[in-house]
């Protein structure tokens, strides 16, 4: 089966990010061991997934939640759309 599932919603039915996150949890979750939710403007470093799993395993609670407020980022002035941004 596919590891990617989608849920499309007409923009007139959108009710904000909290509604969207609740809809995702209700409609798309299938008992995965890990659940990761991110906005489209995040940037990732190599090995980010292993790092998060290590951080979860270091938590004493089996229901740990990792959260963050990401720092701002601007593309370089000479950025070519579709090209790397580093």
pTM of this structure: 0.61
pLDDT tens readout for residues 8-64: 888 899 898 889 888 888 888 888 888 888 776 777 889 999 999 999 999 999 889
Phi, psi of 49 (to 5 degrees): -70, -40
Q: Fill in the DSSP letter of residue 75.
A: -
Write out the two tokens for 59. Answer: 């938590």
* Cβ atoms 47, 55 nearer than 8 A: no
Please, what's the largest Cα pairwise distance for the chain? Answer: 45
What is the structure's pLDDT at 80?
Answer: 84
């Amino acid at each position: 089966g596919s590891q990617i599932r989608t849920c499309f919603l007409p923009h007139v039915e959108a009710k904000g990010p909290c509604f969207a996150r609740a809809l995702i949890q209700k409609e798309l979750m299938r008992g995965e061991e890990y659940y990761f939710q991110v906005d489209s403007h995040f940037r990732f470093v190599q090995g980010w997934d292993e790092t998060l799993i290590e951080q979860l395993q270091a938590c004493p609670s089996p229901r740990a939640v990792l959260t963050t407020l990401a720092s701002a980022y601007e593309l370089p002035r000479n950025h070519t759309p579709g090209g790397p941004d580093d």
